[in-house]
């Protein structure tokens, strides 16, 4: 199975905070023209927590219409209200999404029994493919391999997962536990620098935010891995490892990534929603210098 790069896309806004559909169209074309395999609108880098339910629906409708099957679309549909998660998920699937990516509850602490109950209930109400989204740094809870296995055994429509975890060991443990019973399960790493580990252990690739800025580098990496071009794979790996520093320049990377995209030639509005609307000029300079240094090596 070919290695994949799926982009958790930024959301482009007008100055007043409304969605800039023209700007998002430019970003979509930027990603597709640079050969990404799929896009996740309303993911973590898409500022989904700041959008109303209606805005999310309208945005998903726009995305699916604009992309029209040219690449896979996995909208983030996790809401703090589980009924909205169900409604938004079924809406996206009815409109043609390949699946929906659902983050766990991100306020109340949850036991593994709670996590199982939550996803098991959602899966039985959602009419289509579900991808679990494990991001313990944001939700405060971690989905264990045993809970993943139990969910798969009880719900055929849970077909994949995104793992945003600090060490790949957790992802590897899940894959090793489920691979015999569920060999077709699709595992994606949320951190860009875990792409090669993911592929080597039988995963599909990465849903990595850096591909917003450099999707061409990412698609080149996936193709090099597919074609067993070892030197090129390692060369790009070193670039990605260096570029991971971009996540550390600003606590919320969305605004910085928009500024970097614009500075590199994509004509978009760089508005980021409150309370992260101010990106320091020195952060933009540092980010551009890092990209220039890495890409010129």
Residue positions forming the annotated binding site for pyruvate: 45, 207
- Beta-bridged to residue 76, according to DSSP, are 101
Question: Could you say which of 162, 172, 186, 220 is catalytic?
Answer: 162
Q: What CA–CA distance (Å, rounded) separates 266 from 259? A: 10
- Please give the C-alpha separations between residue 78 and each of 109, 154, 223, 260, in angstroms, as whole numbers: 16, 20, 31, 28
Q: 119 an active-site residue?
A: no
User: Catalytic one among 56, 133, 220, 258?
Assistant: 133
Distances (CA, A) of 66 to 28, 39, 73, 265, 287: 8, 12, 11, 22, 30
Question: Has 188 been annotated as catalytic?
Answer: no
Binding residues: 45, 207
Peptide bond into 275 cis (omega under 30): yes
* Separation between Cα atoms, residue 295 and residue 248, nearest integer Å: 19
CA distance 183 to 206: 18
Q: Which residues are the active-site residues?
A: 133, 162
């Amino acid at each position: 199975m070919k290695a994949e790069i799926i982009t958790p896309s930024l959301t482009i806004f007008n100055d007043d905070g409304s969605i800039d559909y023209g700007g998002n169209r430019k970003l979509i074309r930027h990603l597709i023209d640079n050969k990404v395999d799929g896009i996740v609108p309303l993911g973590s880098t898409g500022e989904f927590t700041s959008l109303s339910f209606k805005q999310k629906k309208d945005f998903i409708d726009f995305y699916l219409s604009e992309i029209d099957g040219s690449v896979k679309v996995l909208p983030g549909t996790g809401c703090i209200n589980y009924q909205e998660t169900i409604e938004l998920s079924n809406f996206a699937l009815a409109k043609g999404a390949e699946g929906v990516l659902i983050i766990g509850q991100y306020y109340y602490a949850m036991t593994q029994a709670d996590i199982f109950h939550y996803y098991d209930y959602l899966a039985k109400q959602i009419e289509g493919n579900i991808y679990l989204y494990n991001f313990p740094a944001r939700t405060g809870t971690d989905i264990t391999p045993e809970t993943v296995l139990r969910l798969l055994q009880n719900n055929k429509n849970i077909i994949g997962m995104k793992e945003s975890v600090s060490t790949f060991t957790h992802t590897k443990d899940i894959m090793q536990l489920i691979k015999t019973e569920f060999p077709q399960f699709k595992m994606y790493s949320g951190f860009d620098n875990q792409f090669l580990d993911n592929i080597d252990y039988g995963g599909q690739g990465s849903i990595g935010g850096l591909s917003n800025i450099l999707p061409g580098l990412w698609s080149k990496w996936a193709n090099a891995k597919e074609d067993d071009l070892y030197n090129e794979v390692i060369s790009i790996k070193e670039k990605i490892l260096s570029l991971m520093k971009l996540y550390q320049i600003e606590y919320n990377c969305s605004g910085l990534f928009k500024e970097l995209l614009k500075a590199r030639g994509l004509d978009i509005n760089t508005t980021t929603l409150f309370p992260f609307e101010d990106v320091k000029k020195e952060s933009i300079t540092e980010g551009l210098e890092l990209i220039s240094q890495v890409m010129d090596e």
